């Protein structure tokens, strides 16, 4: 198990949009982000801490313009908390170890897959292909793709 943490070097390397999303609780534009229609097999990890968050097998097209997932790869890497900003009542999701703002979770996902929709900002994610899992230290997750 890796030691995931809020990495100051990773934060320093963030683009302005990545910084705004992860560190200032921002939101990127729908349909104009890296992963909303991304279809390759692999693991989505927190761009700040590297902790594994979601797999491509749990991704679905919700039509909202952001990557949507039915569940996290490990629920203990996600913190959910009430968010009453912008005149709305939502549940924000953050990475546990990186404390990155990821997005929100809604109860309108596919019923046959648990009913949740984790609506996540691409700017908070880094994608690791299945072929690169071992090389990048995520070999323990390879079984999820076999």
Residue among 48, 73, 105, 119 flagged as catalytic: 119
119 annotated active-site: yes
The three state secondary structure string of the chain is CCCCCCCHHHHHCCCHHHHHHHHHCCCCCCCCCCCCCCCCCEEEEECCCCCEEEEHHHEECCCCCCCEECCCCCHHHEEEEEECHHHCCEEEEEECCCCCEEEEEECCCCHHHCCCEEEECHHHEEEEEHHHCCCCCCHHHHHHHC
Active site positions, annotated: 119
């Amino acid at each position: 198990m890796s030691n995931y943490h809020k990495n100051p070097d990773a934060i320093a390397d963030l683009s302005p949009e990545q910084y705004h999303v992860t560190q200032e609780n921002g939101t990127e534009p729908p349909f104009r982000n890296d992963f909303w229609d991304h279809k390759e097999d692999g693991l989505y990890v927190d761009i700040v801490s590297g902790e594994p968050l979601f797999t491509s097998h749990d991704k679905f097209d919700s039509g909202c313009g952001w990557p949507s997932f039915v569940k996290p790869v490990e629920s203990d890497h996600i913190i959910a908390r009430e968010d009453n900003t912008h005149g709305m009542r939502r549940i924000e999701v953050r990475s546990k170890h990186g404390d990155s703002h990821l997005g929100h979770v809604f109860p309108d996902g596919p019923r046959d897959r648990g009913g949740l929709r984790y609506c996540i900002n691409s700017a908070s994610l880094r994608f690791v292909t299945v072929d690169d899992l071992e090389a990048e230290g995520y070999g323990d997750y390879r079984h999820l793709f076999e």
